[in-house]
Amino acid sequence: MTFGERLAAAMAKHGPLCVGIDPHPGLLEAWGLPQDVDGLTRFVEACVQAFAGHVAVVKPQSAFFERFGAAGIAVLERTLADLREADTLSLLDVKRGDIGTTMEAYAHAYLTDDAPLRADAVTVSPYLGYGSLRPALDLARATGRGVFVLALTSNPDGPSVQHARTATDSVAGAVVAGAAADNADAPGLGHVGLVVGATVGTAVSELGVDLAASRAPLLAPGLGAQGATAADLRTVFGAAAPQVLASASRSVLAAGPDARALRRAARHTAEELARELGRGVDVPVPR
């Protein structure tokens, strides 16, 4: 199966929710955990227990593992392995972006079948040019994995770059066009996804960006703690709503550290998203 097919099946089964594993210092403190590798490990173990096998996608944020050095990276490796064992799609949030052999090395670090940090998909940044991502885009296709490209992000400074216009298009529009070209032969969702914040309001329509035609899975961060609601997704994405994979981290993780409470929070969010986006779910999200 292609990445797009696997993602569509996971969303149909569990709802269109991606839950972040963000071991932020503030969350470790809120959970009563120490700011060390032991605290990181206990945090992540609770998240894997709560979410693996119960949500469509789990998204570890690499930076919060990297801050603990080699020991933190070892925890990240185990986390990705545990998600694979549970047959749960992993989206590693690394936002890599470079050129030439360096971009190729990043691609091999995350998207090959034998890489210790291999994930089902990664996030990448296109601001050295969409073409600079070619090693990751092509390797993801070859190995049945996915790549989510930043397009319209939810941070306040994003529009200064993403809304800027070239002679023929906006920067965001050019990124979407690149994804559409790479996904052109996909029967459903393609392997090149786009990151479009749930808080961008009417920017998609104002820029004239056709997300629906891109066949891209649309990762929508900003739900919950950043202020967006499930109802906002209809306004932001319009006809592209069936492609949306909404991302929530702090709003779900606030229910911790109890794994059952975390799972209930994720289930509630997934069910709300499915209702708002008009998406059926094949089986009830487990409690």
Q: What backbone torsions phi and psi does residue 170 show, to the nearest 5 degrees?
A: -80, 160
Per DSSP (E only), the strands in 16-139 are 17-21, 57-60, 89-96, 121-124
Pairing outcome for strands 244-248 and 218-220 = parallel
Kindly provide the b/e burial profile for residues 61-79, where b requires at least 16 CB atoms within 10 angstroms of the residue's own CB. Answer: bbebbeebeeebeebbeeb
CA 282 to chain centre: 22
- How crowded is the C-beta side of 48, counted as CA atoms within 13 Å? 21
Residues 95, 108, 134, 264: which is the catalytic one?
A: 95
Which positions ≥6 away from 105 have C-beta within 8 Å?
none
SS3 245: strand
What residue type is 178 in one-letter code?
Answer: G
**Considering only CA atoms, which of 67, 78, 77, 55 is closest in space to residue 28?**
67
Identify whether 59 is a catalytic site residue.
Answer: no
Q: Which residues are catalytic?
A: 95
